[in-house]
Amino acid sequence: MCRPLTISLAMASMLSTVVTNTTIAKPASAARSFKAASNAASLRPSVFKLTHNPTLRFEARRGVAMASAGGAETQVQKSEEEWRAILSPEQFRILRQKGTEYPGTGEYNKNKAEGVYNCAGCGTPLYKSTTKFDSGCGWPAFFEGLPGAINETTDADGRRVEITCAACGGHLGHVFRGEGFPTPTDARHCVNSVSLKFTPANKS
C-alpha cells in the first residue's frame, strides 16, 4: 500500500519557488528564502497528507479493525484470542476467517420481521429490514446498508466485492450489482446469517 506523503501542499509550493529562485539568487539570499519558507510552513496549524485515495482506507490486520473515515464512529480492536472467546466457532470461521455458510440454512434467510440487522461480532447496526428482499439466492439479501456501516473491498482475483462491518472488519458476504433486481439500487448484498444479529422492532 502506498504510504502518504508527509509534506504539506504549502510547503511543496514554497520549496518549488525556492528551488527556482536559487538559480538566480545569491547563496545568502537563497538560504534566507529557504528559512523563511520553512518557518512559514511550520506555523500552519494543519498539514495535508497526500494519498492515492483521499478517503482514509479501512485497515484490518491481526484482528485489529478500525473504522474508515465517513464510516461507523466506533472502533473495535480485539486480538484473535479475544474474538475466539466471544464468538462461536461458526461465527469465528465466517466473521474473522471469511467463511461462507451453506445456502438455504441461515437463520435469517426467510426472516420477514421488522427490525434491524446488527453485526454479530460487535453489535453495530448494519441493515434495516425494509431493505431486505427475497433474491432466491439462499442467503439474506439487502439492497443497501445503513450509511457508513459497510465497507467494500474487491477480492484479490477481482471477480467479487467483499462487504465487511466498518466498525470491526467482520466478514459479511459480497455485494453484486447490475443483476436486474427491481430494487432502488440494483444491488444485492449477499450476507451470511451467521454474521448478523437481528433486533426486532418495538411495537407499541
Query: Which CATH architecture describes the domain 59-200?
Result: Beta Complex (2.170)
First to last CA, the chain: 51
State yes or no: is 137 an active-site residue: no
> Tens digits of per-residue pLDDT, 53-104?
333 333 333 333 333 333 444 479 899 999 999 999 999 999 999 999 999 9
Domain with CATH 2.170.150.20 in the chain: 59-200
Other C-beta atoms closer than 10 Å to the C-beta of 146 total 18
Catalytic residue among 119, 122, 168, 190: 190
**C-alpha grid cell, residue 49:** 497528507
> Tens digits of per-residue pLDDT, 20-56?
443 333 444 444 444 444 444 333 333 223 233 333 3
